[in-house]
Amino acid sequence: MKGGSRSRFWHSDGRRLSGLSTVLLLVPFFAVIAFVFVYPIAQLLVISVAEPHPTLGNYARVVDNPVHVRVLMRTLWTAALVTALSVVLGFPVAYYMSRVKGVRAALVAVCVILPLWSSVLVRTAAWSFLFQRNGLINSALMALGLTSQPFKLLYTQSAVVIAMTHVLLPFMILPIYGSLRSIPNDYVRAAAVLGATRLRTFLEVILPLSLSGVVSGSLLVFLTALGFFITPALLGSPQEMMISTLVSKQIREVLDWPFAAALVGVLTVFVTVLALVFSKTLRFDRLMGSAS
C-alpha cells in the first residue's frame, strides 16, 4: 500500500485511525445492533403503549395484578440474591487470581473462563441432572446418612439461584480481578512498611481500591440475572415464575403481545435506571480486566 491510500486510513503517525476507517470499522457492528436489538426493543415498547389502542392500560395490568407484582418482586429478589452470592463466592477467587503467578494463575483463569465457552443450556442441563430426585446430590446426602428421604431440589427457586450463580460467577470474578490487578504491589508494600498488618492492608487499601470492580461485576450480574430465561425455565417451579418466563408465556401461549411488551418495558426501565445510577462506577475498561 502506498502513501496515498494509507493516509486515508491512518493518521501520519500510523497509530490513530482516520475518521473514514473508524466509520468503516464500526458501521457493520452498529448496523447489526440497530437491526436485531434497538429496532425490536423499540417496536415492543411501541406495542406496549399503542395496542390495542393508545393506552397505559398494559402497564396498569402489570401493577394491578398481585400475581404479576409478585413475579416482578421475585425476579428482583432472585437477581439480588444471585449477585450477593456471586460477590461472596467470586471475590476470594479473584483475589487469589490476582496474587498468584505462572501455572497456578493460568489454571484458575482457565477454570473461571472455560465454563463461558460451553452453552448456558448445557450447564443448566448438568445442574438438572445433579438436582434430580435420585441425582448425585441426593444420593450423596443419603449415602452420608444426612437424610433418609431425597430432598426436592429440581424445580425449586433454590435450584434456580444456585445454577444462575454458577452461570454468572465469571462475570463477577473477571471485573473484580481486573480492579485487583490494577492495584500496584507497591501499595501493599507501602502499607506494610507504614505499619499495617495484612488484615489492615486488605481493609484499608485493597478492598476500597477494588470496589469499582465489585460494583461493575454486581451490575453486570444483576442486570443479566433480571432477564435470565433458560435456567429459570428449566430448573424453576412453574408456580414461582420469573419475569422472563412470564414474558415467554404471554407471547407463546397466551399470545398477549401488548401485555408481554409492557412487562419488557418495566424491565427495560429498571435496567436503564440502574445503569444510569451506576454509570460513573461502571467502568467498561475494568470489565476487560485492564489496568486503568
| Residues at the contact surface with another protein, assessed by CB under 8 A | 184, 186-187, 189-197, 200, 204-205, 208-209
Which lies closer to another protein via its Cβ, residue 101 or residue 252?
A: 101
Find the shortest distance in angstroms from Cβ 77 to another protein. 32
Which lies closer to another protein via its Cβ, residue 42 or residue 203?
A: 203
**Which grid coordinates are listed for 154?**
429440581
Which lies closer to another protein via its Cβ, residue 58 or residue 210?
A: 210
Find the shortest distance in angstroms from Cβ 284 to another protein. 20
Which lies closer to another protein via its Cβ, residue 129 or residue 187?
A: 187
Find the shortest distance in angstroms from Cβ 72 to another protein. 36
CA distances from 139 to 124, 129, 154, 162, 237 (A): 19, 12, 14, 18, 22
Find the shortest distance in angstroms from Cβ 27 to another protein. 37
Residue type, 211: L
**183 neighbors 177 (Cβ within 8 angstroms):** no
Find the shortest distance in angstroms from Cβ 292 to another protein. 10
Which lies closer to another protein via its Cβ, residue 65 or residue 197?
A: 197
Find the shortest distance in angstroms from Cβ 165 to another protein. 29
**Which grid coordinates are listed for 150?**
431425597
Give strand pairing partners of 17: 10
Which lies closer to another protein via its Cβ, residue 103 or residue 193?
A: 193
Give strand pairing partners of 10: 17
Q: What angle do CA 73, 78, 82 make, to 5 degrees?
A: 150
Find the shortest distance in angstroms from Cβ 183 to another protein. 9
